[in-house]
A and B are shown apart, each in its own frame.
Chain A
Amino acid sequence: MSKEPVAVVGIGQTKHVAARRDVSIAGLVREAAGRALEDAELTWADVDAVVIGKAPDFFEGVMMPELYLADALGAVGKPMLRVHTAGSVGGSTALVAANLVAARVHGTVLTLAFEKQSESNAMWGLSLPIPFQQPLLAGAGGFFAPHVRAYMRRSGAPDTVGSLVAYKDRRNALKNPYAHLHEHDITLEKVQASPMLWDPIRYSETCPSSDGACAMVLTDRAGAARAPRPPAWMLGGAMRSEPTLFAGKDFVSPQAGKDCAADVYRQAGIADPRRDIDAVEMYVPFSWYEPMWLENLGFADEGEGWKLTESGVTELDGDLPVNMSGGVLSTNPIGASGMIRFAEAALQARGQAGEHQVDGARRVLGHAYGGGSQFFSMWLVGSEPPES
C-alpha cells in the first residue's frame, strides 16, 4: 500500500524576540499552536496527536516538557511524542509528525518546536566542566570556525562571501514580520566592519539568541480537501545521522547530509536539484554555511557553492533564493530553528510568505542540521500533491 500524501495546512509562529518575559513556556508554545490551528481553521478537537521538539534539556533545564505542556497543547487524551536531535530537532520533529500521517496512524497531527533562549543557557549546556578534560573552547562559534576555514582553503572562496550571506539574510528578514532581527540600517560595510569573534567568523555573521516557537498542522488528503487555504504537499523527507567525530569525517560536507539530500531527491523524483528546486530554506547559523550546504545538498559542485552566493543567485530575487525568511542568522530559538526552516519552505510552496514570497515557488527544500554536524533532517514540499 502506498503512503498517504501529507499536506501542511496550518502554520503558526510567534514574533521571535530576544526575551518573551510576558509568557511562560506554556504560553509561548500555545501562541504558535493557536496560530497554526487558526490558519488551518481547525480546533483542538480536530487534532489527533501532538509531536513536539525542543533543544537539549540542559539548555533550558526543563526535563520532559511534554509532560508539562500536554494541557497547553490540547494533548490530553491523545498521543504526545517528544523528539530529540539537537539543533536539527525542529526538522526531525516535523518529519516524525509527517510519518504518522503518511503511515495513516493519524489523520491530523499538530507539530511544534520551541525554545526560550532568554531562560536557557546554551553556552553552559554545551560546555559542562567534564573532569579530566582540558577546557579550551569558547562557544559554538569556536567549534564551527575551523571548519569554515577548512572550507575556504578547500574551495578558494574569497574572504567576502560570508559577509554577503549575512547582508542578504538580514535584508530578507526585514520582509518577514516574525523575524527576530530587523536591522533597518544594515549595510554590507557594517557587516564587514563588525568584529571578528572567532576569526574567520565575524559578529554579524553569527546568529542571535531568540525566544520563539513554531507550529504546523499536518494532515492527510481528506484534511487537505477541507483546508481553507492552499496546502503545501510533502514530496520527500529524510533524516540521517553520523558520529560527531570519527577518523575521516568531512566536517565541510558531511556524508550524512549528502545521503539525506539524496534520499529526499529520490523520493521526490528530483534529478537535478539546481534546476528542479525553486528555493531553499537551510540551517545557516554562521554565514559561511550557506555555500557549504549549497555543495552538500547538491546545488553546486564541490568548491563551487560560493560562486552562487557571490553572483547573487541566492538573493531573494535570484535564480535560487536561499533563506527567504532571513534564516537562522536573523532568528534563532535553537529548538524551533529547524521547524522554522521547514515551515518557511511550506509557506513558500503555499504562496503564503507575504513580502518574502518567491514568485512561482513550486518546489522548496527545508533543511536542518544539529550536533557537531551530526544530525540532518530535510523535507521537500510542493504546491502540487505528489504523483501517486
Chain B
Amino acid sequence: MPEVLKAPLAVEFPFTRSLGPVQSAFLTGLRERVVLGVKAKDGRTLVPPVEYDPVTAEEIRDLVEVAPTGTVTTWAWNHEPRRGQPLDTPFAWVLVRLDGADTALLHALDAPGPDAVHTGMRVRVRWAEERSGAITDIACFEPYDGEPAGPTGHSGEFADAISGIVAFARLDYTYSPGRAQSDYIHALSERRTVGERCPSCRKVYVPPRGACPTCGVATAEHVEVGPRGTVTTFCIVNIKAKNLDIEVPYVYAHIALDGADLALHGRIGGIPYDQVRMGLRVEPVWTEGARYPDHYRPTGEPDAEYDTYKELL
C-alpha cells in the first residue's frame, strides 16, 4: 500500500485587539511600571481587571493601583519551556495575589527549581527592560522577602494610553490528507487522475475522500477519470489575492473530468479569458515537477451539451 502523506501545517496570524477603557489602562500601566486593578461592586479589587462585574454584571470602571509585590496562591513547575513562553529556562507557573488585590494574576516565577517554590511564598514583579503595554512588560516574578511595596496611588489616567494590541496566534499541526487523498496524490505524480467509486450509489468522487458523504460508507474501488473534461461553470477572477501567485484576470472553473460525478476546480488557460464558456471541453497542462496540472486548456472538441453536465455544476 502506498505511503500515507504527512506534512507540517503552521497556522499563524497577528490578530489585532481593541482594548476598551479597562484593558487599555491596565496594559498602559504595565508600560509605566504600575499595576492597576478594578474595584468590584462588593468592594473587592480584581487584578487583572475586567470591564463588567462578575457578580452583578454592572459596568465597572473604578481603577485602583496595587503593589508590585504579592503572595503565590498556587503553582505548577514547567520542566520544558516552549517557544513564546515567558522564560526559556524551567520555571514555575504561578498565581500571584498582589498586595492590595483580592484575586490572583497568572504569570511565571523565575526560581532555581521546584524545591524553591511554595504556596504562600512572597514574590515581586521583575519588570522587562523594554515595555510596550503588554502582559510581557512583566518579565516574570521573582522571590522577594522584603516588606510589601506601597502603591504610588496612580489614578489610571495616562497621557498616551494604548488602545490596541497585536496578539500573535500560532497553531502547529501535523497534517495528513489520509489514505484516499494520498493515493490520489501519488497517482497525480504519474499524471493520472484516480477517484474512488461509492459501492452504494456508484458515484465517482474526485478527489476521493475515502467515504461517500451521501451514503456514509467507505470507498475503495479506484477509478481512473479524465484526462479530458468539461467546464461546467466558472468565474473570471479580476482581483489579485495576496497569497496566490496567479496573474489576473484568470478563469477559475469547475471541471467535470470524464467519468467523474462531481466537478473539481482548476484554472483555464490557452484561450482568452473572455472566451471561456460553460460546456468548453478541456484537458490538463502539466509543468515539470508540479503536483497538479498547472491549468486546463481547450481540446478543440465541440462544446458539451448542457444536458450532459447540468448535474455537475
Instruction: Identify the A interface with B (CB < 8 A).
Output: 20-27, 30, 44, 58, 60-62, 70-74, 76, 116, 118-121, 123-124, 127-139, 141-142, 145-150, 153-154, 195-201, 243, 245-249, 251-252
Contacts and interface: CB of A to CB of B under 8 A. Distances in A.
28 contacts: A20-B18, A23-B18, A24-B19, A27-B20, A61-B167, A71-B54, A71-B57, A72-B57, A73-B57, A76-B54, A121-B13, A123-B241, A132-B291, A135-B243, A138-B237, A138-B239, A138-B240, A138-B244, A146-B233, A146-B254, A153-B233, A198-B235, A199-B235, A199-B249, A245-B213, A247-B203, A247-B214, A248-B311
Contacts of A252: 313
Given A58-B11, A124-B13, 11 more contacts: A30-B51, A71-B57, A119-B16, A131-B177, A139-B241, A145-B252, A197-B238, A197-B239, A198-B239, A243-B214, A248-B203
B158 interface: no
Contacts of A199: 235-238, 249
A149 B263 CA distance: 15
A150 B292 CA distance: 26
B28 interface: no
A61 B313 contact: no
A130 B9 contact: yes
A130 B232 CA distance: 25
A23 B59 CA distance: 13
Nearest to A136: B265
A116 B254 CA distance: 33
B253 interface: yes
Top 3 nearest A-B pairs by Cβ distance? A145-B235, A24-B20, A74-B57
A146 to B, nearest CB: 4
Contact of B213 (A118, A137, A195, A243): A243
Given A130-B9, A132-B181, A153-B278, A245 B20 contact: no
Interface string B67-108: 000000000000000000000000000000000000000000
Interface string B1-42: 000010111010101111110010000000000000000000
A299 B76 CA distance: 62
A131 B11 contact: no
Nearest to A154: B310
B278 A149 contact: yes
Contacts of A134: 291-292
A25 B23 CA distance: 11
Contacts of A76: 54-55, 57
B213 A146 contact: no
Contacts of A123: 241
B53 interface: yes
B61 to A, nearest CB: 11
B52 interface: yes
A195 B233 CA distance: 21
A201 B313 CA distance: 17
Nearest to A125: B13
Contacts of B7: 131-132
B311 A131 contact: no
A118 B164 CA distance: 12
Contacts of B19: 24
A129 B9 contact: yes
Nearest to B177: A132
A60 B15 contact: yes
A156 B280 CA distance: 19
B185 A132 contact: yes
A131 B262 contact: no
Contact of A138 (B18, B175, B241): B241
- Could you say which of A26, A71, A128, A130 has the most chain B C-beta atoms within 10 Å of its C-beta? A71
Residue of A138, A153, A247 with most partner-chain B CB within 10 A? A247
Contacts of A141: 235
B121 interface: no
A136 B252 contact: yes
B281 interface: no
A351 B262 CA distance: 47
A149 B233 contact: yes
A43 B195 CA distance: 59
Interface centre among B240, B306, B313 (most CB of A within 10 A): B313
B233 A127 contact: no
Contacts of B57: 44, 71-74, 76
A72 B22 CA distance: 13
Nearest to B182: A132
Nearest to A77: B55
A119 B15 contact: yes
B214 A71 contact: no
Contacts of A137: 241, 252, 265
Contacts of B252: 136-138, 142, 145-146, 198
A215 B201 CA distance: 44
B169 interface: yes
Given A22-B18, A134-B291, A146-B254, A246 B267 contact: no
Interface in B191-249: 201, 203-205, 212-214, 232-241, 243-244, 246, 249
Contacts of B181: 132
Contact of A21 (B163, B233, B235): B163
A31 to B, nearest CB: 11
Contact of B52 (A72, A124, A248): A72
B17 A142 contact: no
Contacts of B48: none
Contact of B313 (A22, A139, A195, A251): A251
Contact of A23 (B20, B204, B234): B20
Contacts of B254: 146
